[in-house]
A = this chain, B = another copy of it.
Amino acid sequence: MSLVLNREQLSEYLAHVFPQVERDFAIEEVDDSSITVRLKVEDRHLRPGGTVSGPSMFSLADVSVYALILALKGRQSLAVTTGCSMDFMRKPDGRADMIARCTLLKLGKTLAVGDVLMFSEGADKPVARATMTYSLPPAGSAAAAFG
Chain A residues proximal to chain B, CB less than 8 Å: 17-18, 47-48, 53-56, 58-59, 62, 80-91, 105-106, 108-111, 113, 115, 117, 125-126, 129, 131, 133, 135, 144-147
Q: Which of B59, B81, B126 contacts A105 (CB 8 A)?
A: B126
> Within 8 Å CB of A91, what residues of B?
145-146
Q: Are B83 and A84 interface neighbours, CB within 8 A?
A: no
Known: A144-B109, A146-B108. A84 touches B82 (CB 8 A): no
What residue in chain B is nearest A86 (Cβ atoms)? B84
Known: A54-B58, A81-B54. A111 touches B88 (CB 8 A): no
What residue in chain B is nearest A144 (Cβ atoms)? B110
Taking A82-B111, A88-B146 as known contacts, 9 extra A-B pairs with beta carbons closer than 8 A to each other, sorted by chain A number, are: A55-B55, A58-B58, A89-B106, A90-B106, A91-B145, A91-B146, A109-B144, A110-B147, A133-B133
